[in-house]
Structures are given as C-alpha cells and as structure tokens.
C-alpha cells in the first residue's frame, strides 16, 4: 500500500502516475537490462587528486556547492576476524569535478569537517552507515545533512537495498561499471592505478547525478510525498 494514500480514497490521475513511477523505481532490473544501457563512464569530467599542497584550494571549491556526492574507500581485509583498515580515500564530487583526498597524505584532513558538518551543504551517497561511522570514529566528524539515497527508495516501497548499479540504471538510464576485483583492490597503494581513480570518482559522481535526477523525477508529485521523503529530497 502506498503510504501517501488511504485505501478507501479514490485515486486521482496524479496519484496513479506517482504510484506507477514508484513501482518502476522499486523494480529490480535484470543484469541483461542493465548491460544493454549505455555506459555511465562517458561523462568526461575532471578528477582532482588532493594532497596537502592543494587541500585548501579543493576545500574552497567544495564550500561553494549546495549538493555534493560522497564516498569513501579503505583497503579491504580478507581474513575473518581481522580488524578493518582505516579509510584510505575520501571522494567528494561537485557536478563538474570529483576531489579524491588521500587521507594519509593530508595532515589537515580533519578540516573536511567544515564540509561534512555544514548543515547548508547536502552530501549524498549510497549505503553510508559504515562511512558515517568511519567519519565519526576516525576523524571525529559529526556529519550533518548527509543523505543515503537508498533511504529514498526504501520509503518509495523498495523491499531490498538498492545498489549503485541499480540506482544509476533507474535514475540515469546508464550502466555503471562495478567490479568486485576493483572494489577489493588496495586503496592504500600509492600511486593509484588510473582505473582505481576513475572507479572511485564515479562512485561519488554517480550518487550526486542520480540524486539530482531523482529530485527532478519526484518533484511533480511533491504534494503526494510523505514528510520523510520530502526531508530526504530537500525540497
């Protein structure tokens, strides 16, 4: 049942449109359907590798944005019970650039709290519970205005968690390259391979792109959305 309407109410054409859109967004696309879509990676945007020297310049640019895509990477563990490694990278994307912060090369990395704790800047990503915990425990950051896009889909009625590939396919009609080998690669290695850089940047870019498109898709139905959805979409 749609949480925005009562079962006894006669539905308007707009309500039926919204329910059809929600059902479409909540459907699980097959691997074949996603594979047939054009690649997401053909966006040709700038990626900036950030270290101590250009940290201040990167921070200055990010502070000008209202919406930012966000993600983190850490060296994986392969032994059961082994303590997880600390974050190696923090990726933050504007609509035009993705800044990849090499944590170990930036003594002043804690200054990122001016972005992560800013209530006026919306940061979004997908599956952020562990990242939120890392920011708090490793960097002492109390994140604010951080949106997990998967929560939007949960409120729309999706039963299972939506992954990045499904998110990009539904919202952008594109096929996001995802690879277990790449996600499990050594993110603490320096220098990173170009494939790692592109992969990390696209995680942040795609979250921002999908979220912004989702806001456009749902805006015509703003009056029908539950308060929790309105809050997540920052209307």
In a domain, 6, yes or no: no
Q: Which domain holds residue 188?
A: 13-233
Residue 42 confidence (pLDDT)? 86
> Is residue 26 reached through a cis peptide bond, with omega within 30 degrees of 0 on the bond before it?
no
Per the model's pLDDT, the better-predicted residue between 22 and 182 turns out to be 22
Residue of 3, 25, 44 whose CA lies nearest to 168: 25
| CATH classification of the domain holding 70 | 3.30.420.10
> Cβ-count burial of 89 within 10 angstroms (0-12 exposed, 13-18 middle, 19+ buried)?
buried
Q: Which of 5-14, 110-119, 196-205 has the lowest mean pLDDT?
A: 5-14
In a domain, 3, yes or no: no
Asked if the model's pLDDT at residue 192 lies above 80, the reply is yes
Residue 99 confidence (pLDDT)? 98
Q: How far apart are CA 99 and CA 87, in angstroms?
A: 15
In a domain, 1, yes or no: no
Contact 59, 115 (CB under 8 A): yes
In a domain, 186, yes or no: yes
pLDDT tens, 35-70?
999 999 988 899 999 999 999 999 999 999 999 999
Residue 190 confidence (pLDDT)? 86
In a domain, 8, yes or no: no
Per the model's pLDDT, the better-predicted residue between 81 and 153 turns out to be 153
Number of domains in the chain: 1
The β-bridge partners of 122 are: 67
Residue 49 confidence (pLDDT)? 97
Mean pLDDT, the chain, rounded, equals 94
Prediction pTM value = 0.93
């Amino acid at each position: 049942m749609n949480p925005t309407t009562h079962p006894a109410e006669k539905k308007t054409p707009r309500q039926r449109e919204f329910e059809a859109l929600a059902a479409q967004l909540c459907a699980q696309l097959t691997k074949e359907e996603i594979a047939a879509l054009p690649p997401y990676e053909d966006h040709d945007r700038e990626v900036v590798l950030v270290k101590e020297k250009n940290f201040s310049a990167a921070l200055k640019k990010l502070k000008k944005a209202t919406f930012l895509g966000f993600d983190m990477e850490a060296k994986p563990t392969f032994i059961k019970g082994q303590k997880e490694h600390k974050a190696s990278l923090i990726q933050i994307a504007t609509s035009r650039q993705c800044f990849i912060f090499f944590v170990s090369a930036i003594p002043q990395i804690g200054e990122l709290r001016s972005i992560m704790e800013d209530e006026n800047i919306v940061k979004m990503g997908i599956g952020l519970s562990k990242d939120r915990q890392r920011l708090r425990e490793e960097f002492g950051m109390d994140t604010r205005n951080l949106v997990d896009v998967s929560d939007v889909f949960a409120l729309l009625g999706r039963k299972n968690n939506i992954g990045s590939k499904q998110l990009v396919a539904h919202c952008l009609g594109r096929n996001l390259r995802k690879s277990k080998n790449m996600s499990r690669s050594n993110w603490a290695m320096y220098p990173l391979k170009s494939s790692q850089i592109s992969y990390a940047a696209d995680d942040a870019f795609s979250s921002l792109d999908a979220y912004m498109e989702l806001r456009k898709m749902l805006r015509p139905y703003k009056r029908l959305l539950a308060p929790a959805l309105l809050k997540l979409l920052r209307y």
